[in-house]
Structure 1
């Protein structure tokens, strides 16, 4: 009996051992399937990652290429800016030279224009049409009539005469100025001197005035001395304007010439301080 029982126990153990082995094999088989799935998943992830890495590599390569292109462009722009800076400096220097030259040329032109007017006189107040189509002969006869025939030992030589260049006025409007170019500068001096001495001048009952013919710029320059000229005259100085715009002042037997109103004003201030 005991041997039989032992035999049964061995058989039972063998059966249990076989069942356990089968379970283990089943478990191993299941784990193998899971491992296969994991391996497949890992392979898929690996391929996906590799594909994405390839895309990233391509993108980085493209970005590097664009970066290098941008860098070259920036270098080109920097070179162009440096070249432009040099050109700008050259242009600025040229512009300054041109400004200086333009100032000198403008001064020369103004001087030439002013000197071309020095032999002109402006006659104001003569009615339109009094010259009857021959303005030059009219002015040759008009000046001695206004200033006195006895003051002219010979006829005044007039080169040309014209009315100011503006539309002809209506009968009730002021007549245009007559501008006459006198041939001799001495005659111009005498005409202007006599016109001041014999003022007021009358022609056919109308008042007539004779003035120098200055350019607009010279007129402005001379007008700038008006205020200080009055101050100096009131202080007892004798003042006169020289062409184009220089103030000559005689005071206490001394003579001074001022090129600007500011210089003359400082002299007038000194006279005021000396009189206090």
Structure 2
């Protein structure tokens, strides 16, 4: 009995320490459970927010893409503000020259009325970069960039106000150089424009494709 008593006495200290450690572990487990519960709650809130943002982005994305598309078209249009496109200059008129600036300068000087700017300065002039057409097909368009915007407008206004422009027995047409998307949008008014012409209404466009009557 004495030995058993001593054994119990010796075990009381370690057992008390173990009980204390177990109690601390239990408290830690309670705290961890609370933390896990809070983390799960926050994850749920985050998932809900992400889901909401994805929904908003799905709605806004087409609008952003459309806005960016319009901005790019506008920038392209601005880069072409000093350009014109000339239709009807027969293939071979340039006699093999790649730089058409001298040829176009001569053409403009000859077709423009007295009092127009003389020897307008051009930055460049070239045919569109497509294969040369076969004999009998329409010649490639010539794109011209003026050094001065005012001179471009002078030529363009002359062409608009002329019923017919001829140069060396060629029927010449001169238009503003526009982005493809703007041209297609303006073509959608073809029926309205035809009706206006039949009624002798003067029509025009405000950039990019706003019809004016």
Confirm or deny that 1:120 pairs with 2:83.
yes
Q: Aligned partners of 1:131 and 1:237: how far apart in 2?
A: 39
TM-score (norm 2): 0.67
1:147 to 112, 115, 132: 112
SS in 2 for 1:189: helix
Aligned-residue offset at 1:87: 4.7
What aligned pairs does 1:1-276 form with structure 2 within 5 A after superposition? 87-132=50-95, 133=97, 134-148=99-113, 150-232=114-196, 237-249=201-213
Is the Cα contact below 8 Å between 1:195 and 1:209 reproduced in 2?
A: yes
In structure 2, the gaps of 5 or more residues are 1-44
Q: Aligned partners of 2:63 and 2:132: how far apart in 1?
A: 41
Structure 1 residues 236 and 201: alpha-carbon distance in aligned structure 2, compared to 1, 3 A threshold: closer
Q: Aligned partners of 2:104 and 2:52: how far apart in 1?
A: 58
In structure 1, the gaps of 5 or more residues are 1-81, 250-276
Is the Cα contact below 8 Å between 2:85 and 2:144 reproduced in 1?
A: yes
RMSD between superposed Cα atoms in Å: 2.7
Q: Aligned partners of 1:223 and 1:235: how far apart in 2?
A: 19
SS in 2 for 1:210: strand
Is the Cα contact below 8 Å between 2:84 and 2:176 reproduced in 1?
A: yes
Q: Aligned partners of 1:108 and 1:170: how far apart in 2?
A: 38
Q: Which residue does the alignment assign to 2:33?
A: none
Query: Number of paired residues?
Result: 169
SS in 2 for 1:109: helix
Structure 1 residues 101 and 187: alpha-carbon distance in aligned structure 2, compared to 1, 3 A threshold: same
Give the structure, 1 or 2, with the largest relative contact order (CA under 8 Å, sep 6 or more).
2
Is the Cα contact below 8 Å between 1:164 and 1:177 reproduced in 2?
A: yes
Q: Aligned partners of 1:173 and 1:226: how far apart in 2?
A: 25
SS in 1 for 2:84: strand
SS in 2 for 1:211: strand
Q: Which residue does the alignment assign to 1:78?
A: none
Deviations 1:169-190 (A, max 9, x none): 2233321110101122221222
SS in 1 for 2:175: strand
Q: Aligned partners of 2:201 and 2:107: how far apart in 1?
A: 35
More helix by share: 1
TM-score (norm 1): 0.53
